[in-house]
Chain A
Amino acid sequence: MTEANTPAIACRKLWQVFGDGAEKALTDALARSGNDADKAADLLRDAGMIPAVQDANFEVHDGELFVIMGLSGSGKSTLIRCISQLLSGTGGEIRIDGEDVRGASKKRLTALRRQKLGMVFQHFGLFPHMTVTENVAYPLRVQGISRAERTERAREVISLVGLEGREDSFPRQLSGGQRQRVGIARSLAVNPDIWFLDEPFSALDPLIRRQLQDEFLNIQATLKKSIVFITHDIAEALKLADRIAIMRDGKIVQIGTPTEIVLHPVDDYVREFSKDVAKGQHAIVSSVMREGETQFGPDDPGLQTGMTLDAALAKCMNLYEPVPVRDSSGEVVGIVHPSDLAAALQVDEA
C-alpha cells in the first residue's frame, strides 16, 4: 500500500438517490438538515425517495484491492455503478486518477472505458450471440481495432484466465465458472488500470468460488490493478481485501483493514458479520503488538508481525511473559503479551 499523490479512485460526499426530481430533493434535504447525512437521508425517505448511497467518502489507492461488503439492499451494487458511471450519481464527487468523472461528457466516459476501466458482473453479462473470443475481443472491436490484432490480444487474456481450448464456444456451452472466466478475460482485454468486480463469484458454487478466488489473487499479484470488489461474503472480503468498506442501508459504516474489521468492529452490525469468522485466522500479530517496547521475558518463540493470531497463540501456549516480535528483516519492532493474544480472540464475548 504505497501512498501515491493522487488516489486511483476518490469519492467525496457521494449520493445516489432514486425518485423523481432526486437532484433537487437531495439539495433541499442537505440544506434543511445542515449537511447532516443521516438527517438528510431520513428527509429523503419521508419524501418517498430512495437514498441508495448516502454520503460515501473513501479513496482507493494505486494497486489496492478495495472490497465493499454489505447485505443485499445495502447499496453496494449501486455504489460500484456510480463509480463506474453506469449510474450518474445524484450528488458529490467521483475522481478517477484525479479526473472528475461525474462531470465528464458521454464521449469522455466512453474514452475512459476504452482505456482505463474494466468491469466483471455477478451474472457474467456475456453476449449470448458471440463466441468466447468474440466476447473477450468486444471491447477492442468497439475501438475499431483490426480483427487479427484483437483476436490475438483476446487469446492472451483467455490463456491468462485458463480457458484455452474453449475459444470458439458460445457462452451457453460453458459452465458457470468458465463463464465468469470469460467475464474476467473480457474486462481485462483493454488492460485497464481500474478494475470493477461486482460480486463476481457469488453465483458460483463454493468449490469453484474458492478456486477462482485463488486464481484471482494470482492474477492480481502480477497485474497490480486498482480494484473495487463487491461481495456479500465476509470470508471472501477478509481473504481478498487490502481494505474493506462495510455498507449498511446505503451508508458506509466502517472502512478498515481485515484485521481492524475483525478486531475492532465499530458497531453491532459489523460485529455480527465478524462473529462467525475465526478471528485468529484473519487478524495478525501487529494488531496486538506494543510497538517500540523492548522489555520482554526470557522466552523467544519467534513471533513475526505478519503472523496470524492463531499461529502466534500456538507458539505462546505456555508463556506468561511478554515476547519479542520481529519484522520480516528479523529486527525486533515490539513486544506482545500472550494474554493480549488470547484477549483479542475473545473480543466479542466481552
Chain B
Amino acid sequence: MSADEQLTPHALTHLTRGTQVALITLLVGALCLVLEPLVPWLVIWPAEWVLPATDWVGAGLKWFLEGIKPVARLFSELMRYPMNWANAALGATPWPIVIGLVTALGWYIGGLPMAALGFLGLSFVLSSGYWPQSMNTLALVAVSVPLALILGGAIGILANEVPRVKSVVQAVLDVMQTVPTFAYLTPLLLLFGFGPVVGLIASAIYAAPPMARNVMLGLERVEPEIKEAAIMSGGTRFQQLFQVEIPSATTQIMIGVNQCLMAALSMVIIAAVIGGFNDIGWEVLLTMRKAQFGEALLAGMVIVVFAVIIDRMSGALATERKRHDRRVVWALVAFGVVFTALFWSSLPNASEFTLMDPVAGAVDSGLTAFTQANGPWLDALKNNSMFYVLLPLRIGLDQAVLPFTWGFAWTPAMSYGLFAAGAVIAALMAWRGHATGGLMVLIGIGMLETGIANLPWPFVLSGTAALGWVAGGRKLALMSVILLSTILVSGLWERALLSLYLSGAAVFACAVVGGAIGLLSAVSETAWKIVRPICDMLQTIPLFVFLIPVLMVFQIGEFSAFLAICAYAVVPMIRYTRHGLVNTPDEMMEAAISSGATEWQILRDIRAPYAAPTILLGLNQTILYAFAMLVIAALIGTTGLGQSIYLALGQADVGLGISAGAAMAILALIADRMVQGFAEERRQALGL
C-alpha cells in the first residue's frame, strides 16, 4: 500500500479501499459537524421520526406469549415436581452424607486432588452457614442441567443428521448466545410467572447452546475414516451414530457438558434477580443491597467454590481417562453415613454454622477501615479516570472539559486548534505513505471532540459501513447498516451509543492491558505461571460475583461497572495473545534466528504478524464478553441498553426488554462479524 502511494501521491484513483472509505467517513463526519447548527437532525435523530417499534414488539410478543401461556404454565407445573424432589433430596440429606458423596465422586474422577477439592470446598460452604441456600441453588442446577443436556444434545444431533438444518441451527445458537441473559428473563417471567421455574428454564435455555455446539463440533470432527469404517461394517445409521460416532466424540461432548454446567450455574445465580427463591444468588443480591459487603463476599465465595468444584470435576471427566479405586469410593460414602448415624442426635443444623461470620464481620470492618484510610487515593483514582478518560470519551471534550474539573473551559478555538493539529499529523502521515492511518487519526480526534454518545448518526452508519466493507465486503457492510438502522428508528439509539461507549472503553482497556499481559506471559514463563491460574479463576467465576469486590471499593457507578467488565473481559485477550505469540512454528523461529534476528526483532517481525489472526480472535471474544458483562453491570449502575433491559425486567415490559436485548445482540453481532472478517483476512494473507 505504502509503496504504491509514494509513487503516485496525487492520484486519488490509486488509493486503497481502506483509504477511500476512511476518507468518505471523515467527510461525512465533518459535514455533520459543520451542518449541525443548520440541520440539527443530522446529529440527533428527531424524536418524531422514531417508530414505536418497542411497543409493536411488546404487543406482538404479548399476544404470542398469551397464546402459549397455558402450555407454558402446564410445563411450569410439571417442572415443579422434579424441582421439589431435587430440593427435598438435597435439602433433607444430612450434610455429612452430601460431603461424603461429593468427596467420593471427586476421588473416583480425579483421585486425591479432586477428593480434597470436594471435601475442603464443601467444608467451607458448611462453615459459611450458607448450606441450605447452596443446596437450593444446586437443586436448580441439578434439574436444569439435564434439561439443557437433552435439549442441546438433541439440537446438536439434529443439526448433524440434517445438513439443511445446520446453518439455521448455527444462526439460532449465535443469537441465543449474543442476546443478553436478562433479556429473555422478561418474556419467561410473563410465561411462567414468578418463581424458581423461570430461573430453571432460563438457565436451561442459556446452557443448551454450548452443549449443542460441542456435540456438533465433536461429531463433525470424528475422523472420516472412522465414519466410513462404521458404514462398511454394515451398521445402520442409528448404530453408526450411537455405537461409533458419539462415543468417538466423547471428549468434545464432555467439554460441552462442562460448559453446560458452568453456564447453568451462572444463569441460575443471575436469575436470582427475579427473586422468589431462597438461593445463594439471592443471598448475594440481598446482602449487596444492604451494603453488607462482608456477607456478600462470603456468599460470593461460596458461589466461586461451587463453580470451581463443578468445573474442575467435570473438566477432569472430559480429559482424564483414568478412574480411581472404587473401594475408596464406597469407604468415603460409608464414612459419611456412619458419621451421620453416630452423631444423629447431636448433628448440628447446617444453617447454624457461623464459623465464617467473624470473618465476614472482619472483612466488613476491615473494608471500612481500608476505604477510610485510602479514601482520598481511591477517590482520586476513580474521579481522575472518570473526569479525564471516561467522561470525555462519552460526551466529548467540548462538554467534558469544565473549569470545575479540568481547571479551564473548552472554547471553540481549542476545537479548531485540536483539529488543526490533527490535520497536520494526518498530512505528515499521508506524506510518509500512511494515508489511511492519518485519516484514522483525524477521525479519532473528531470522535474525541464530539464524544461517542453524541456522534452524529450518519457518521456512525457510514463508519460502520466502511469498516464492514473493509472487513467482509459489501454483504457485511449492508447487513451492518440495516441492523443499525433498525436500532436508529426504534428509538434505542442513544442508549445503544451509551452501551457502545462503555463497552468500547472497556474493550480498549482490555486490549491494551490484556495484550501487554499476554505479551509478558509469552516472553516470560514465570509470568505465565502466575497469570495462568488467575485467568483460570476469572473464567470460572460466575459473572455476578465480579460485581461484589468492585462495589465494595468503588461503590455504585459507571467506574465500578467499567472495572467489572474489564476484569471479566480481559481474560480472552491475555490467553489468545499469549497463545498466538507462543505458537509460532519452530521452523519459522529457526529461520529467523539463523538469519541473525534479535529477540525483539523476532517478536516484532515474525511472531506478532503470525499471531495477528489469533489475537484478533481474542479481541473478538473480549468484545462478546464485554457485552455479556455490560448487562450484568447494569445492576450496579450503568446507563444504556443494559439498564433498559434491567428496567424492563422490573416492569415486566416485554417489548422494551426484547428490543433492548435485540439491540444489544445486534451490536455484539456486528462487532463479532467485523473482527472475524479482519481475522479471516489476516489468516488468508498468511495462507493459514
Q: How far is the CB of B137 from chain A (nearest CB, A)?
A: 34
A40 within 8 A of B: no
Q: Which residues of chain B in 195-244 are interfacial with respect to chain A, using CB atoms and an 8 Å cutoff?
A: 223, 225-226, 228-236, 239, 243-244
**In contact, A190 and B229 (Cβ under 8 angstroms):** no
| Residues from chain A with Cβ under 8 Å of B250 in the complex | 129
Take A121-B229, A125-B228 as given contacts and tell me if A142 and B236 are in contact as well, using a CB distance cutoff of 8 Å.
Answer: yes
Q: CB distance B236 to A123 under 8 Å?
A: no
* Cβ contact within 8 Å between B248 and A127: yes
Please state if B223 and A186 are interface contacts (CB–CB under 8 Å). no
Given A138-B233, A186-B233, verify A127-B226 contact (CB < 8 Å).
Answer: yes
The digit string for A98-142, where 1 denotes a CB below 8 A from any CB of B, is 000000000000110110011101111111111000000011011
**Distance of A76 from chain B, by nearest CB (Å):** 15
Q: Are A121 and B231 in contact (CB under 8 A)?
A: no
Interface flags for B22-33 (1: CB within 8 Å of A; 0: not) read: 000000000000
- 11 A-B pairs within 8 Å (CB atoms) are namely A86-B231, A119-B228, A125-B223, A127-B229, A127-B230, A128-B248, A129-B248, A129-B250, A186-B229, A187-B232, A190-B234
The CA-CA distance from A129 to B231 in the complex, in Å, is 17
B225 A124 Cβ-Cβ under 8 A: yes
Closest to A183 in B: B229
Assembly CA distance A123 to B227 (angstroms): 12
Q: A127-B248, A142-B236, A142-B243 are in contact. List 5 more A-B contacts (CB 8 A).
A: A113-B233, A117-B232, A122-B225, A126-B229, A142-B235
The answer on a CB contact under 8 Å between B236 and A121 is: no
In angstroms, Cα B143 to Cα A67, docked, is 58
Residues in B with CB closer than 8 Å to A110 are 234-236
The 7 A-B residue pairs whose C-beta atoms are closest, nearest first, are A125-B225, A114-B234, A125-B229, A113-B234, A139-B233, A119-B232, A121-B225
Residue from B230, B232, B233, B239 having most chain A Cβ neighbours under 10 A: B233
A271 to chain B, nearest CB (A): 33
B228 touches A121 (CB 8 A): yes
Q: How distant is the Cα of A66 from the Cα of B197 in the complex, in angstroms?
A: 66
A residues with CB within 8 A of B: 81, 84, 86, 110-111, 113-114, 117-119, 121-130, 138-139, 141-143, 183, 186-187, 190, 196
The residues of A that contact B236 with a CB separation of less than 8 Å are 110, 142
B60, CB-defined interface residue at 8 Å: no
Given known A123-B225, A125-B223, A125-B225, contact A118–B248 (CB-CB < 8 A): no
> Interface range on chain B: under 10, 10 to 19, 20 to 34, or 35 or more?
10 to 19
Asked if B228 and A86 sit within 8 Å, CB to CB, the answer is: yes
B226 — nearest CB in chain A belongs to which residue? A125
Beyond A121-B225, A126-B226, whether A84 also contacts B248 by CB under 8 A is no
**Distance (Å) between the CB of A9 and the closest chain B CB?**
15
Question: What chain B residues lie within 8 Å of A118 (beta carbons)?
Answer: 232
Q: Do A127 and B244 form a contact, CB below 8 Å, given A121-B225, A122-B225?
A: yes
B323 to chain A, nearest CB (A): 14
Question: By the criterion CB–CB under 8 Å, are B229 and A119 in contact?
Answer: yes
Cα distance, A214 to B235, chains bound together (Å): 31
A142 and B228 contacting across the interface, CB-CB below 8 Å: no
Within 8 Å of chain A (Cβ to Cβ): is B247?
A: yes
Interface positions of B from 493 to 531, Cβ below 8 Å from A: none
Most A-side CB within 10 Å, residue of B228, B231, B234, B247: B234
Q: How far is the CB of A104 from chain B (nearest CB, A)?
A: 13
Closest-by-CB residue of B relative to A118 is: B232
The complex places the Cα of A297 from the Cα of B232 at a distance, in Å, of: 58
Q: How far apart sit A114 and B233, CA to CA, in the bound complex (Å)? A: 6
